Structure 1
Amino acid sequence: MRKLFLLLALIASSYLLSAQNTLSGTVKDAKTKEPLAGASINIKGTNQGTISSNTGTFTLSAKKGDILIIRYIGYATSEITVDNQATLDIELTAGAGNLEEITIVGSRRLGRTAMETAVPIDVIDIKSIARQTGKFDINNMLQFATPSFNANKQSGSDGADHIDPATIRGLGPDQTLVLINGKRRHQSSLINLFGTRGRGNTGTDLNAIPAGAIDRVEVLRDGASAQYGSDAIAGVVNVILKSSVNEFSANINSGVYDAKKYRTDRKYDGESFQLNANYGTRIGEKGFVNFTADYLTNAKTNRVPPPGAVTYRREFGDASAESFSAFFNSEIPVAANTSIYAFGGTTHRFTDAFAWSRDADDNRNVKEIYPNGFDPRIQSAIDDNSISVGIRTMHDGWNIDLNNTYGKNKMHYYVDGTLNATLLAKSPTHFDAGGFWFSQNTTSINFSKPFDVAAGLNVAFGAEYRVDRYNIFAGEEGSWQNYGIIDTVINNRVVKYDKLERPAGSQGFPGFQPRNEVNASRTNFGSYVDVELDVSKAFLLSGAVRYEKYSDFGSTLNGKLATRVKVAPGFNLRASVSTGFRAPSLQQTYFNTIYTNFEQGVPIEILLANNLSTVTRTLGIPPLKEEKSVNLSAGFTAKPVNNLTLTVDGYLINVKDRIVLTGTFDQSDPDIGSDLAALGVGAANFFTNAIDSRNIGLDVIITHSGRLGDGRLTTTLAGNFNKLTIESIHTSPKLVGKEDNYLSAREKSFIIASAPKSKINLTVDYTIAKFSATARLVRFGEVTLLGYDDKPNVYDPKVTTDLTLGYRISRNIALYAGADNLFNVYPDKQDQENTEEGGLWDSVQMNFGGRHYFARLSFTF
């Protein structure tokens, strides 16, 4: 019966397709009548669509009654019903004055396209990227779509196994600002600590935003603190949620890693499955609400040497995860020039990652529980919630936007398959290890107005008030307590003695103690003025000034100037200069934890100290202050021929007083050892403004789109070339001369390795009739890390190849299948004993899962 139903469905689909006519047309600017290249033309409720050529032309198979949806960045979306016409001329109006305008990050003037801005912006169509790849989450999609963006899964890195750190242009994860629909997105509560990129940094969990809810992502590759505030030193990622209506879309995705090369027990692992659905409906004549639900699960991968080979971990690979997300986006007009809008969502993710193996004879093991040793697993329950509500209106020509955005990220740790060795055979094997949460509430008001001055003037100004909160909560007693401590008398003095000489707490991840608990908050007030002036049709000049005052460290004033000159038709020069800042996060200020190591049988209690604690004050570590930057950028955009575009942008980013996590100082230090002993601390490390860095780089993007036979061929070559150097290290007065411990050469290498020296993407996409094919080659440049012995681990350049084939089964159903990393390329192997991860590979240029097969079934009705 199922086969008969499928056959009838295919026959019906074939009939519908045969009833279609070929429709051709052009897309132009309604005012200038210039052709718009790259406009998307889609048949509503189907998987059919195309994009306009560089002359604005397009062809599409459609039938009478079909509704065409035409979208172009910076212009109001248009819907046109197909009649019996063979040609169609479409004119789009710039979004100025429209309450449903499209936002372009980096410019508060509406109607400005990405090619016309004074700063480099990537506009990434998520639906197209999802069609071309087997990546299911946003971090991975951007990693292979944008050369300056880098994100890698970690293994054996505690919390970073569960939330992937991401960077732009090789700077820290916390030096990129994330927005949703132009509003500030809260950061993750996690601070990266052990054996990971972005050590000492807190980023934003982009994977908490389901790909099925996203229309596009705008990546501003330029310093923007003067426009948007803290964290925008490297740039801005603006996520635009879907606003489509009367259309249902869904995707069923599945994937699996090829494990035959490094596993003898099974051929495949890392199985993943994703189901997402999106639907939007009208509210009144012009209002809308759009809903997305997303479920994603993936199993662990395991990449260990074959039996008999030396290994330090029996389990090494990606963590497993299961997540559910629900997001919405809405806007409802309540008067002629006024609308209320709201968007937000919730994500719950449960992850499970392997920690380092404990051997049977290790003093961290209890043989009565684990005769053969054990592999503790660090689990996390991550809850991420957000809601943004606002009102847009227009008064006397001024566009006014009043908004309140709240977000909270909570990370709760559990440790399974573990034990507390000081409880011996009585130990449980599962512990609640506590965790932390971070919340942010931002209230803002923004004004903007275009003026008929020169060729055009836009003035914008506004203010915001933000409240940040950070909380650390303790785990159950058994997750951190040392039950082997007894009181004994030595030289007539009562001292505490560890009779077992075993590390305390849950193995793999000791829980947070009551003395680690924190409940902190701060406030921030900011205001800005942003002006864009078209001095002439060829000359654009823009500037911004922003003042911010924080309750915990003071105030800062930053500015930006940018310009774009149309030298000739199709050729623009652009440049910018700006100062920037990043406020120290509450996580960096207040995070603290305690763990115990044994040195020659002596227990050493190591404290990662709160920046405001007695320990840091005694050692002369000053309170954290803001990181400061100077950004220079210059480049050009060109259209040498109608179907070819080229952008080249060079940049120089100097960052002063970058916050890092120092090395460990102990009681053997001749200068501060006595201070630590007096405080009862065996050893300590801490966060401090320690380094000045410099990034020099170049971004190049070349895109060609044109007809090839009866189909369309689109080719994109994009590259990022980046060099980061650490210019100086400045210590506190008590630690002068100890720069090598303050920030060792090994820790420097982790900072420098936040991005490869180069990353080059070549993407070729061909569509003809019902078929499509995409090939992507990515070359990751060399990366160098230092091992524990300070010997370099050099990872040579690698090239990965992705291939995706697509077939449109009917107007409403499409199937895509392929392989990422088709030729099963791995990073160079490393010395397992000499790294934090303890495996054969590090998560450097790309992941070490190898070849990944995938299939995607897409529905649109």
Structure 2
Amino acid sequence: MKKSNLALAIAAVFAVPSVASAQSTTTETEATPEPERIQVVGSRLSVRTATETSSPVDIITGEDLMAAGFTETARALQYAIPSFNFPSSSITDGSDAVRPASLRGLSPDHTLVLVNGKRRHTSALVHLNGTTGRGSSNADLNAIPISAIKRIEVLRDGAAAQYGSDAIAGVINIVLKDNTEGGSAAVSLGQTYEGDGEQLKLQGSMGINLFDQGGLTLSFEYHSKNRTNRAGIDPRQQYPLLEDGSLDPREETFDRQSHHVGDAEVSNSALFFNTFYEIGDGELYGFGGWSARVSESGAFYRRALDPRNLEEVYPDGFLPILAPETNDASVNFGYRFGLSDWFADASIGYGESEFIYKLENSLNASLGPDSPTEFDAGTLVANEFTANFELSRFIPFVNYSELSLTLGASYRENAYRIYAGDEESYIDGEFDGRPAGSQGFTGFRPDSEVRESRSNRGLYVDVENQLTDDFQWGAAVRFENYSDFGSNTSWKLSGRYALTDSLSVRATANTGFRAPSVQQLYFTNISTLFVNRDGELVPEQSGTFNNISNVARELEIGNLRPEESQSVSAGVVWSGTNGLSLTVDAYQIEIDDRIILSSALIPSDSEAVADALAAAGADNARFFVNAVDTTTRGVDVVLAQNFDLGAYGRLRGQVAYGYNETEIDRVQLPAILDGLEDRLFDNVERTRMTRSVPRNTGTISFNHRLNDWTTHLAFSYFGEYTLENNQGVQTSFSGKWITDLSVQYQISDRLVAKVGAQNLFDVYPDKQRPENQFNGIFLYPNTNAPFGFNGGYYYARLSYVF
């Protein structure tokens, strides 16, 4: 770590006191209760606070998520956990609707998401454009409404041995509300300082008692958000010259803020449930939910004089609108029961993500003036079925302690489907030599259709033991066998030792893996072009080819292999008698054979490539390939405390800081592609993998309660990050502080009003260099802006508790 970064970490540690624990915040007039003991992700032992665990765990309550008034689950988590990254993007096709999120600067698919401790399915979307995590698919956290969440547990440590594939960077466990009575309802309104991005959010949750034998909690949410637009003025000529060579008079009246560079327009609805019911000596449980989202975002504007436009249809040009429909559904059921001396848990679950590409205000110019202007460009579907059976018990162990032993078996099946779009979305109508396909996103062709699946079976053993009052240790081993690439075994060791009543040290070591996702195995998007070869039209294919295609075989890409990791972490924990807590955890994560989405190969790259493409009937190709080894190092710091200010109320404060840095150790491609490393994994992608996420992030937050008033104040720091353009020019964007402030008033026992501002001082990212602004239109970085580029936002919220 550089000295400047170390100095920033030390400064953050001593900046301000606060508290981080598993217990919920109490009101100013209540007595502080004995903290509830809960079981948190990464451990089978129950704990009272996050500082009792042998691995670093953050526990964010539902109240914490709503403190700053964020309307998206992933955005609220970003401001609560500095090591969690959720950048904003615009004009990135489907990624405008389902944005990538990541932990510890790694890929979005290196973080496993659980709901109530059970695996959550991932999105069907593959991030194809210039966002963080290009080529990955991640669980859509925004499909889970904040109104349904009791707390979120973030395990910042590798956990593949405990939970299976994907848990290289860590695990996010979303615990749903489980109250059996009462509930709440709320309405929120807000807009940006610029006057756009208006939002309306209706949400509620209620608990129902089931005959004193169980409960059912229902949560709903409706969220409507108008678009924001920070595009610059387009200075270019828009219309063809008149016959006399002069400019068209319409140049003077044309609205030159023609592009849409900002947040998409979104309408999202969600309904979740969580239930349990005592049957015999056991408990039947179930949970799940449904969400449906429609978003609208812009592509590049087609000027009236653009050959992709037809003036008969759009005399002033047009902005293609990508309007995908995103549907997520999941359901899990299980039964917990006693079995002799064991505690058993049997469960099944199913989750599905559907991403329907639709376009509005578009055009297939090759069909001429009769072209449709709206298209169904195809559908992606990813689903996951899981079945688990787990046995656990405590066994007498040495030194009169007890050993927590867990044995488990799992089965999982993942499937992926691609459905072709309307014929008009991809066909070449050969009108006047105009380009084929729907503008903004070309539809999936029938030869891109996919219907594939794979399965895996797993066995695991997990043990934990509080050997003495001072020493706790744990170990886990997991074996998994996949139908497509074979088997993998991973392990984890962890320990925590109390040096004094206040000071403890902890450490972990583990191996991990991430199986290639079905999206990476089978995603295909091929366009067929007819090329004149010696006077004869010959069909050639271009696009993204999966690894079972003829192109991949001719290029000797081989089957995708799992990414494998080796991780170590070490930390210190301070728990003061006055409620002060401090955790400092350093880590190193080495990942071998990371999967990338390559750049496109063309015949001129090499003779071998030209022969392979010709044999496969392709003129260019990109694909997924195991190509990169990396090492990520970092440190996470959390300092927290509660203050009793007497007549001035109670103050809760927290400081959190995260530093991470990723280095590329090796790039290795198949032998036929020797010498093409810089073509397939160029500096743009290297910079995106290592520098597009801020290395330094942090938050300083305060919650103050006095009688009926509650004030939340937070300062969030997003450090410097770097992007590179296709001309090899790197641009570094400086770090910024973002301030959030809200004030809440308890009108009555049941009614609460809140007003607040996010990004109170209207901070924007640095502007891009002029050469990267595309004629002054893209003023701000539109693919990896850590805190967006909307500026300030103010809101009001009214909630009712019953």
The TM-score normalised by the length of structure 1 is: 0.85
Is this contact kept in 1: 2:191–2:199, CA < 8 A?
yes
Tell me which of 601, 614, 623 is aligned to 1:686: 623
- Following superposition of structure 1 onto structure 2, how do residues 174-189 of structure 1 map, counting pairs within 5 Å? 174-189=109-124
- Following superposition of structure 1 onto structure 2, how do residues 722-737 of structure 1 map, counting pairs within 5 Å? 722-737=660-675
- 1:319 correspondence with 2:252: no
- 1:674 correspondence with 2:611: yes
Residue type matched to 1:166 in 2? A
CA distance in 1 between partners of 2:770 and 2:339 (Å): 65
**How many angstroms does 1:473 deviate by?**
0.2
- Following superposition of structure 1 onto structure 2, how do residues 220-239 of structure 1 map, counting pairs within 5 Å? 220-239=155-174
Structure 2 spans left out of the alignment, 5+ residues: 1-18, 238-255
- Following superposition of structure 1 onto structure 2, how do residues 592-741 of structure 1 map, counting pairs within 5 Å? 592-595=524-527, 606-671=542-607, 672-710=609-647, 711-741=649-679
Query: Alpha carbons of 1:666 and 1:834: their partners in 2 closer, same or farther (altered >3 Å)?
Result: farther
Aligned residue in 2 for 1:402: 346
- Following superposition of structure 1 onto structure 2, how do residues 106-117 of structure 1 map, counting pairs within 5 Å? 106-111=42-47, 113-117=49-53
CA offsets 1:551-600 (integer angstroms, 9 cap, x no match): 01110000000000011002110000000000000100110112489999
Residue type matched to 1:703 in 2? A
CA offsets 1:608-654 (integer angstroms, 9 cap, x no match): 11111000110111110100000110001102451311000000000
Aligned residue in 2 for 1:4: none
Aligned residue in 2 for 1:284: 211
Query: Alpha carbons of 1:680 and 1:835: their partners in 2 closer, same or farther (altered >3 Å)?
Result: farther
Residue type matched to 1:359 in 2? R
Residue type matched to 1:226 in 2? A
Residue type matched to 2:30 in 1? L
CA distance in 1 between partners of 2:20 and 2:690 (Å): 39
**How many angstroms does 1:772 deviate by?**
1.2
Residue type matched to 2:453 in 1? S
CA offsets 1:255-281 (integer angstroms, 9 cap, x no match): 21122xxxxxxxx11111111111101
Aligned residue in 1 for 2:780: 841
Residue type matched to 1:303 in 2? R
Is this contact kept in 1: 2:304–2:315, CA < 8 A?
yes
Is this contact kept in 2: 1:312–1:357, CA < 8 A?
no
- Following superposition of structure 1 onto structure 2, how do residues 76-475 of structure 1 map, counting pairs within 5 Å? 102-111=38-47, 113-130=49-66, 132-259=67-194, 268-306=195-233, 308=235, 314-335=259-280, 337-453=281-397, 454=399, 455-475=401-421
Query: Alpha carbons of 1:248 and 1:853: their partners in 2 closer, same or farther (altered >3 Å)?
Result: same
Aligned residue in 2 for 1:522: 454
CA offsets 1:703-724 (integer angstroms, 9 cap, x no match): 0211124201111110100101
Query: Alpha carbons of 1:37 and 1:368: their partners in 2 closer, same or farther (altered >3 Å)?
Result: closer
**How many angstroms does 1:521 deviate by?**
0.6
Is this contact kept in 2: 1:776–1:801, CA < 8 A?
yes
**How many angstroms does 1:59 deviate by?**
4.1
CA distance in 2 between partners of 1:758 and 1:338 (Å): 48
CA distance in 2 between partners of 1:740 and 1:835 (Å): 25
CA offsets 1:146-186 (integer angstroms, 9 cap, x no match): 00101123111111100011000011111100000000111
Is this contact kept in 2: 1:313–1:838, CA < 8 A?
no
Residue type matched to 2:467 in 1? V
Moved more, 831-840 or 846-855: 831-840
Tell me which of 538, 543, 551 is aligned to 2:483: 551
Give the SS at the match of 1:683. coil
Query: Alpha carbons of 1:559 and 1:428: their partners in 2 closer, same or farther (altered >3 Å)?
Result: same
Aligned residue in 1 for 2:712: 774
Aligned residue in 1 for 2:15: none
Query: Alpha carbons of 1:504 and 1:72: their partners in 2 closer, same or farther (altered >3 Å)?
Result: farther
CA offsets 1:45-92 (integer angstroms, 9 cap, x no match): xxxx43xxxxxxx8429xxxxxx9x6845x2xxxxxxxxxxxxxxxxx
Give the SS at the match of 2:273. strand
Residue type matched to 2:269 in 1? F
**How many angstroms does 1:313 deviate by?**
5.8
CA offsets 1:474-527 (integer angstroms, 9 cap, x no match): 00001011111xxxxxxxxxxxxxx74432110000010000000001110011
Residue type matched to 1:229 in 2? G
Query: Alpha carbons of 1:727 and 1:437: their partners in 2 closer, same or farther (altered >3 Å)?
Result: same
CA distance in 1 between partners of 2:677 and 2:212 (Å): 65
**RMSD between superposed Cα atoms in Å:** 2.3
Is this contact kept in 1: 2:21–2:51, CA < 8 A?
no
Percent identity, please: 39
CA distance in 2 between partners of 1:428 and 1:351 (Å): 20
Query: Alpha carbons of 1:279 and 1:534: their partners in 2 closer, same or farther (altered >3 Å)?
Result: same
Is this contact kept in 2: 1:119–1:221, CA < 8 A?
yes
Is this contact kept in 2: 1:547–1:555, CA < 8 A?
yes
Residue type matched to 1:302 in 2? N
Give the SS at the match of 2:129. coil
CA distance in 2 between partners of 1:712 and 1:798 (Å): 29
CA offsets 1:785-834 (integer angstroms, 9 cap, x no match): 10121100111111111111111111111111111001111111114764
Give the SS at the match of 2:415. strand
Give the SS at the match of 1:156. coil
Aligned residue in 1 for 2:444: 512
Query: Alpha carbons of 1:112 and 1:812: their partners in 2 closer, same or farther (altered >3 Å)?
Result: closer
- 1:568 correspondence with 2:500: yes
Query: Alpha carbons of 1:691 and 1:599: their partners in 2 closer, same or farther (altered >3 Å)?
Result: farther
CA distance in 1 between partners of 2:540 and 2:761 (Å): 47
Structure 1 spans left out of the alignment, 5+ residues: 1-35, 43-48, 51-57, 62-67, 76-101, 260-267, 485-498
More contact order relative to length (CA 8 Å, sep ≥ 6): 2
CA distance in 2 between partners of 1:39 and 1:630 (Å): 29
Q: List structure 1 runs of 4+ shifted beyond 6 angstroms.
A: 309-312, 596-600, 835-838
Moved more, 163-172 or 366-375: 366-375
Is this contact kept in 2: 1:607–1:685, CA < 8 A?
yes
CA distance in 2 between partners of 1:526 and 1:300 (Å): 45
CA distance in 1 between partners of 2:21 and 2:661 (Å): 33
Give the SS at the match of 1:143. helix
CA distance in 1 between partners of 2:674 and 2:133 (Å): 25
Aligned residue in 1 for 2:252: none
Give the SS at the match of 1:270. coil
**How many angstroms does 1:245 deviate by?**
2.0
CA distance in 2 between partners of 1:394 and 1:105 (Å): 22
The TM-score normalised by the length of structure 2 is: 0.91
CA distance in 1 between partners of 2:144 and 2:460 (Å): 28
Is this contact kept in 1: 2:92–2:129, CA < 8 A?
yes
Tell me which of 416, 423, 427 is aligned to 1:481: 427
Moved more, 666-675 or 325-334: 666-675
Tell me which of 519, 537, 541 is aligned to 2:469: 537
